[in-house]
Structure 1
Amino acid sequence: MFTRRSALLRELCLFALFAGTAGLVEEELYQGPTDGLPYFMSEPTVIKTTENDTVVLPCFVENLGDSRVQWWRGERLLADSSGEAPSFVVERVRMGPDNGLEVAAIIADDAGEYECRVERPSPWEPIVQKHSIQVLYNPTVSLSPPGPVMDVRIGDEVSIMCDAFAFPTPTVSWSHMGNLPEDSSSLSGVRSSRLIFKATSRRLAGLYTCTAQNGVGGPVSATVRLRILHPPEVTVEEERVHATPGLRAELICIVTAEPTAKVVWTRGKHPLPQTSRIIRKVNGDRYSLVFHRVLSDDLTSYTCTATNNLGQDQRTLMLTGVAREAVIKAERMSDENDDDSVKLIWEAESYTPIINYKLEFRRTSGPGGASNWTEVVIPADGQSALVHSKSFMLRGLSPGTRYEAAVHSRNAYGWSLPSQVLAFSTNGGQPNADDAQATDNEHIKSSESNSEEDSKSSEAVVGIIAGEDEVVATDEVEEVVEKAAIQSSQPRLHWTQVELTADHTSSASTASAISSLLLLTIVMTTVSSS
């Protein structure tokens, strides 16, 4: 009997112990109403706020009684309802009358999880409710490598890292003066972006801006100035500067270099000293040599040399008294029946009177294709103005045919450079851009001469001059010679030396060219004798 009662009592104790343990487990999982025990009336909360605001995290507890409420953040105790000072004190954080946690003057570091913990009487475990604060703040942007300037050599790879910190996560973009390099790529992470490209050209230098935005406030940017280190590059606006003694003149070099180049002006092999009459000026990338009053000895060539630790470059400029290149145009005859003539008009700038002009022209279409160049030396009108103008009539041209022409001007200092080649046509023909592109410019340029000896040499080969400002291109030589002899009581048929420019591959074209040259010479000498 005793044994049976002892076994029953042992079973009742085990049952009570099991029931108590089960109740503790159930209470940890379920934090709702329990007879006589504290439980939460509030719900877990996520509060989104911005910096400098104040938030209150709720912790409403029913049946609190003598139980204690604590607020924790990780392993740090922030507040305790018992009045005991927490081990970690934050002046901006305090517990309110309803056990809520008030956080004032919010900063970005306040973002995270907070726990409201209620200590219950033994043997019950504490109950915990979690809340969180999300601080929405404007991005802060930083670049790597740091610093306002980044230096790379031309041809090197450029790599710029942009880190953007914000909540919510920002989007990051790059810009460079409106456009990024064509071969650039950007590698984006959660809060960063890396811009990568190759510095293939000095034009890629300049400001690179990383911009981050997340909808909180406006976009935020960080900028770095990329310097692409390269040797100097020297260019000029005008290689030949027209000048005359007594007037002011200026030679200009444009120098691009990184780092900045040292620029030296030389005349011949010797550096040019600065005087009160000849001074050097610098305006950005423009380096000038200014002659306040040009002397005759100043009319020569000068070299602008730029040097930095990566290399050197130079250009030579000419201060010259020769005329500027002429500007030429053509006028067709208004008479539809006059389809073998074209009037050429040009203007040239020269401080000194122009002595004569050299006109070069050729056919670019028609039988046999393009012809060789024909030269005509034309007397000037002796104008004393800065701008000299001249008109000249080409007659006896082939109807409906394309031609091109260029003109040089000669003053006391020699021959100018040729004008731009002009494409024109007689009535019934149309200028062709392809013809103009195929112009034998080297032939024209090779005929220029700037020295006095070259000028005399040119006079020796002058052969086609028309006294009435016109050239007659015709084959009727015998008839014209006979008429000239009859009209002149003492005809002086002087054979001027000429430069034969006919195509020797064709006997017909050769005869035509010779006839034209003879006729032109006869017209000149006949007019001069009358």
Structure 2
Amino acid sequence: MDKLKRILKLSIIPIGFLQIFLMQMDSIRADLNYNHNENNNTIFESVPTTVKTYENDTVMLPCTVNSPQFYTRWYRENDMIIDSRHQDVPPPERYHLWPNGTLQVTNVQTEDTGDFRCEVINQSGIYGEQEHAIEVQYAPTVITSPSGTVEFQIGTVFEIICEAKGYPNPIITWRRKGIDQPNQSDRLENRKRHLVEIESRDDSGPIECVAENGVGEPAVDGIYLNVLFPPEIKVLQSIVHTKINMRAHLECIVISAPPAKVQWYHHGVPVTTDMRIARNDVEIHRNRSQSHYYTETKHQLVVKKVRDSDLGMYECRAENKVGFKSSTIELTGRPMPCLFKTSPVQQPGTAHTLIWQTESLSPISEYKLKFRQVPSGNVTPQNRPPVMNWNELTIPAEFSEGSIHVTTYTLRGLQPASVYEVAVTARNRFGWSDNSKIIRFATGGEVELNYSTETHYTSYDDFEDNFLNDHSVSSVQQYSAASPSSPQSPSSSPSLSSSSSSSSSQVTYARATVSANNYIKFSFSQYLKLLLLMIFYLI
């Protein structure tokens, strides 16, 4: 009963008293630790040491005391290594205890990194203890997963994991094609994850994980990415001109990974090869390498003697496991588009001589010439005049030998000081050629404007919306015309390969014959202003 009363009395001790009691106990514990450290400082001549070293070096961990009567015992973590009281027990390999208590570790390895503790023992027991540490620094190593050469399609998202080892802990960075990449991954200890999204075949190449910690050379490992993509087709000549009984070559270049299977079609029907129609497939790059892992093959369809039935649209169709692509090539006997040439004759005010040429392997039967007057001067959306209709002329062709046909024609009855547009097509037994590029001329000279040097228009109405941009002739440059001559064909026909005036680079310019002192450059509006000013002074 008395014992129960004592317990009940203790149970009603205030909480505040318990808190004060615990605080006093912590203070006593701190004093004991301080006194312990003070005792260690008075016992040991050596001080706690952390030795940073490299593999295969020798490390000395001191444990010297002031008292001559002592024994030494060493621990690695919590495992005892050596005790000087037991000389008959051999120490582990690479460990040696010197008489002054110093522990020697020879040929240190990475696994020697850790904490060491020495205890000094006298007759009455443990006299003191001291902490030491060894940090073995070594160059980094790295392993990636996956590794080696990998193949993925465009649109694939995959992950590369990089595991690095080394001391100090390595810093990991990523490189693509030798260029450092921003950190896009989460770091978990020495593991880094890198997400890769394949957007195009240009993403192919090395992706490397680089680990470095200042010890030795950086470690590098990674993958080489080959991007699989559907075939790409390049057609250098989309229209092949020929004639009956002539040899014709149709060619397409296919680039793909993996290699593609190529089939030729004529009007949607697979082409069957025989003695007259043959195929020739040549790989352009025979030596494969990491940087050139895909195939690039030139595929030719050779028609040795063209027949009427061979003409028409052909299709080069390539397919691999990723996808397919096709391109069309027309085999035709029609003439090539006509090219206008600069007229060497001096132009009168109401007429203009045009020269054009075309290439046709069959005789030309006729030409269709279209021309119309276009607005000039300051044209704005507010004062835009109505578009003039095209005038069309059918011009019989003169017989000429060879494949180059040159024609000269003079348009008469034109309005003076006006701008005209003109285009021409040619016809042979196989049909009409594509439209020529439209050029412009001014009566008394020639104005050449570059609509588009790359696009062949199939309808003249395609140019209606371009008037506001191109009809304003801002400058007219004087030039010396050739001596007057009859409007006949030049003695030497210009070659089709020579550059024509209408296909000059992005420049809008005008040339006209103008009677003015010192060959001053005038626009039409400036010329009219000058004329009005002269009339005013004369009045």
Provide TM-score, normalisation by structure 1. 0.60
1:294 aligns to 2:296 (yes or no): no
CA–CA separation in structure 2 for the residues paired with 1:23 and 1:196: 55
Number of residue pairs matched?
Answer: 406
Partner residue, 1:361: 371
CA–CA separation in structure 2 for the residues paired with 1:391 and 1:76: 108
Give the percent of matched residue pairs that are identical in Structure 1 and Structure 2: 22
Q: Structure 1 residues 119 and 311 mapped into 2: Cα distance closer, same or farther (>3 Å)?
A: same
Partner residue, 2:315: 303
Partner residue, 1:189: 187
1:137 aligns to 2:139 (yes or no): yes
Partner residue, 2:116: 115
CA–CA separation in structure 2 for the residues paired with 1:165 and 1:423: 74
Q: Write the mapping of 1:33-432 to structure 2, written as runs, cut at 5 A.
A: 33-34=42-43, 39-41=44-46, 43-49=48-54, 54-59=57-62, 61-62=64-65, 67=70, 69=72, 72-75=75-78, 82=87, 84-86=89-91, 93-95=94-96, 99-104=102-107, 106=109, 109-110=110-111, 112-121=113-122, 122-125=124-127, 127-138=129-140, 140-142=142-144, 144-146=145-147, 148-152=149-153, 154=155, 157-166=157-166, 167-175=168-176, 186-189=184-187, 191=190, 193-196=192-195, 199=198, 201-203=199-201, 205-207=203-205, 209-212=207-210, 214=212, 215=214, 216-218=216-218, 220-225=220-225, 227=227, 232=231, 234=233, 236-244=235-243, 248-255=247-254, 259-275=258-274, 278-283=278-283, 284-291=295-302, 293-296=304-307, 297-309=309-321, 311-328=323-340, 330=342, 338=348, 344-366=354-376, 368-380=385-397, 382-398=399-415, 401-422=418-439, 425=442
CA–CA separation in structure 2 for the residues paired with 1:379 and 1:158: 67
Match of 1:186, SS?
Answer: coil
CA–CA separation in structure 2 for the residues paired with 1:381 and 1:47: 98
Deviation track 1:102-132 (CA, whole Å, cap 9, x = no partner) reads: 45375xx447324152442242255233223
Q: Structure 1 residues 350 and 213 mapped into 2: Cα distance closer, same or farther (>3 Å)?
A: farther
Question: Cα RMSD over matched residues?
Answer: 4.6
Amino acid at match of 1:267: H
CA–CA separation in structure 2 for the residues paired with 1:186 and 1:124: 54
Q: CA deviation at 1:26?
A: 3.5
Q: Write the mapping of 1:377-526 to structure 2, written as runs, cut at 5 A.
A: 377-380=394-397, 382-398=399-415, 401-422=418-439, 425=442, 441-444=457-460
Match of 1:120, SS?
Answer: strand
Q: Greater relative contact order (Cα 8 A, min sep 6): structure 1 or 2? A: 2
Asked if structure 1 preserves the Cα contact closer than 8 Å seen for 2:370 and 2:390, the reply is yes
Deviation track 1:333-360 (CA, whole Å, cap 9, x = no partner) reads: 777xx56555544443434444444333
Q: Structure 1 residues 100 and 405 mapped into 2: Cα distance closer, same or farther (>3 Å)?
A: farther
Q: Structure 1 residues 46 and 416 mapped into 2: Cα distance closer, same or farther (>3 Å)?
A: farther
Aligned partner (choices 15, 33, 40) of residue 31 of structure 1:
40
Asked if structure 1 preserves the Cα contact closer than 8 Å seen for 2:82 and 2:97, the reply is no
CA–CA separation in structure 1 for the residues paired with 2:224 and 2:337: 46
Amino acid at match of 2:264: W
Which consecutive aligned stretches of 4+ in structure 1 deviate over 6 angstroms post-superposition? Answer: 22-25, 177-180, 332-335, 427-430
CA–CA separation in structure 2 for the residues paired with 1:179 and 1:349: 55
Amino acid at match of 2:49: P
Q: CA deviation at 1:255?
A: 4.1
Q: Structure 1 residues 378 and 164 mapped into 2: Cα distance closer, same or farther (>3 Å)?
A: farther
Q: CA deviation at 1:265?
A: 1.6
Asked if structure 1 preserves the Cα contact closer than 8 Å seen for 2:73 and 2:83, the reply is yes
Asked if structure 2 preserves the Cα contact closer than 8 Å seen for 1:250 and 1:288, the reply is no
Amino acid at match of 1:186: Q
Q: Structure 1 residues 276 and 266 mapped into 2: Cα distance closer, same or farther (>3 Å)?
A: same
Q: CA deviation at 1:179?
A: 10
Deviation track 1:226-285 (CA, whole Å, cap 9, x = no partner) reads: 5355x5555533322223456553323344555543222233454323446512414334
Match of 1:95, SS?
Answer: strand
CA–CA separation in structure 2 for the residues paired with 1:54 and 1:128: 23
Asked if structure 2 preserves the Cα contact closer than 8 Å seen for 1:185 and 1:197, the reply is no
Q: Structure 1 residues 115 and 410 mapped into 2: Cα distance closer, same or farther (>3 Å)?
A: same
Deviation track 1:137-177 (CA, whole Å, cap 9, x = no partner) reads: 245251x45552142463x5454444554545324134368
Asked if structure 2 preserves the Cα contact closer than 8 Å seen for 1:72 and 1:117, the reply is yes
Asked if structure 1 preserves the Cα contact closer than 8 Å seen for 2:235 and 2:327, the reply is yes
Partner residue, 1:476: none
Q: Structure 1 residues 404 and 212 mapped into 2: Cα distance closer, same or farther (>3 Å)?
A: farther
CA–CA separation in structure 2 for the residues paired with 1:414 and 1:327: 18
CA–CA separation in structure 2 for the residues paired with 1:23 and 1:368: 107
Specify every segment of 5 or more residues in structure 2 that has no aligned partner in the other structure, as ranges.
1-30, 284-294, 377-383, 463-485, 490-539
Q: Structure 1 residues 217 and 146 mapped into 2: Cα distance closer, same or farther (>3 Å)?
A: closer
Asked if structure 1 preserves the Cα contact closer than 8 Å seen for 2:150 and 2:223, the reply is no
CA–CA separation in structure 2 for the residues paired with 1:246 and 1:177: 56
Asked if structure 1 preserves the Cα contact closer than 8 Å seen for 2:146 and 2:223, the reply is no
Amino acid at match of 2:129: I
Q: Structure 1 residues 60 and 443 mapped into 2: Cα distance closer, same or farther (>3 Å)?
A: same
Q: CA deviation at 1:44?
A: 1.0
Structure 1 stretch 189-198 or stretch 316-325: which is displaced more? 189-198
Asked if structure 2 preserves the Cα contact closer than 8 Å seen for 1:401 and 1:429, the reply is no
Q: Structure 1 residues 286 and 397 mapped into 2: Cα distance closer, same or farther (>3 Å)?
A: farther
Asked if structure 2 preserves the Cα contact closer than 8 Å seen for 1:362 and 1:370, the reply is no
Amino acid at match of 2:371: F
CA–CA separation in structure 1 for the residues paired with 2:53 and 2:299: 64
Asked if structure 1 preserves the Cα contact closer than 8 Å seen for 2:333 and 2:430, the reply is yes
Q: Structure 1 residues 395 and 111 mapped into 2: Cα distance closer, same or farther (>3 Å)?
A: farther
Q: Structure 1 residues 380 and 210 mapped into 2: Cα distance closer, same or farther (>3 Å)?
A: farther
Amino acid at match of 1:279: R
Q: Structure 1 residues 185 and 57 mapped into 2: Cα distance closer, same or farther (>3 Å)?
A: closer
Amino acid at match of 1:289: Q
Amino acid at match of 2:250: L
Structure 1 stretch 282-291 or stretch 69-78: which is displaced more? 69-78
Q: CA deviation at 1:186?
A: 1.9
Asked if structure 1 preserves the Cα contact closer than 8 Å seen for 2:173 and 2:183, the reply is no
Asked if structure 2 preserves the Cα contact closer than 8 Å seen for 1:31 and 1:40, the reply is no
